[in-house]
Amino acid sequence: MAVAALKALLPPEGLRRLTPLGGFEARVYTDGERVYKVYRKEEAHLAALEARRMARAGLGSFVLGVAEVEGQGVLITRRFPGRPFAPGAFTPKTLAALSHLFLSLHRLPEPGYVSKEELLARLETFSESLWETPEALELIRALKGEVELAAGVDRRFCHRDAWAGNLLLKTPKEEGPEVLLVDWVRSGGDDPARDLALLKTGSLDLLGEEAARQALLHMARLYPKEVRERLAFYVPLTYLHDLHWFRTKEPQGFPQALEEKLPKALAFFRDFFPRRGAW
């Protein structure tokens, strides 16, 4: 169906140049110069929403247009000359660009605040899906005891989905920014500490745990102390979210995820909560 929409949008020579780039909620294609993200009919409105959120993030120059074709929404953007996050392409310049990008986002205010009730509800959901894992339940109980640390924080504009497939690193010698975040549908108001935690668990962890921590703490030093302290809450919480996702959405991958992620969650909580006053 995605190709049918593009057939109505592009001339035949344009269609011949298309290469699929994958995609989950939407199908993504490129002709080498532009990228076409095609949303299903029931989600056609998300194309325009993503364009607005890209503009909010300062990426409006990448947006070339939004169209509705055959009932489907199409977001058209400039192609970024880069590839998804990979350890071999990570450099000090990458880290500096990431720091600038996230700080720029997190300076933008959003309505509302993070409530204690929503945090406790999230933890309770994890308790229900991870009830057979005593160490996870112990961590959940510990986080419930520290929930006041994260409750009441004013929301800032966050990407909220910075996993490696959404974080593109520029190909060497190409022009343009060093990094680009794509897929802005989930972006919105949240705690910057949670956004940084998602970056660690979804991308930086590919560097190895020690290097991931170093990169995260390097970025966090540019934030106020209270944001840095909340990482001790949100990094373990994010690992628990990953385990909940595997347990409920992809149970065949849960044992491996449990083996990889739970020790990191426990270690981060152990190593950083006792140091909360010493950042």
Q: Please, what are the domains in the chain?
A: 2-79 (3.30.200.20), 83-273 (3.90.1200.10)
Instruction: Name the E strands within 40-193.
Output: 63-69, 72-78, 82-84, 109-113, 154-158, 167-170, 179-181, 188-190
Q: What would the pLDDT profile of 233-272 be if each residue is shown by its tens digit?
A: 999 999 999 999 999 999 999 999 999 999 999 999 999 9
pLDDT of 35 above 70 = yes
C-alpha dihedral (260, 190, 203, 247), degrees to nearest 10: 30
Tell me the C-alpha distance between 41 and 8, whole Å: 15
pLDDT for 22: 80
Average pLDDT over residues 202-208: 98
pLDDT of 276 above 70 = no
Tokens 């229900």, located at residue? 128
pLDDT of 43 above 90 = yes
pTM here is: 0.95
Tell me the C-alpha distance between 254 and 62, whole Å: 37
pLDDT of 86 above 90 = yes
Percentage with pLDDT > 90 across the chain: 86
The one-letter amino acid at 77: T
Which residues, other chains included, contact 172 with Cβ-Cβ below 8 Å and sequence gap of 6+?
none
Give the residue among 232, 237, 211 at the shortest CA–CA distance from 278: 232
pLDDT for 70: 86
Tell me the C-alpha distance between 239 and 262, whole Å: 7
pLDDT for 37: 96
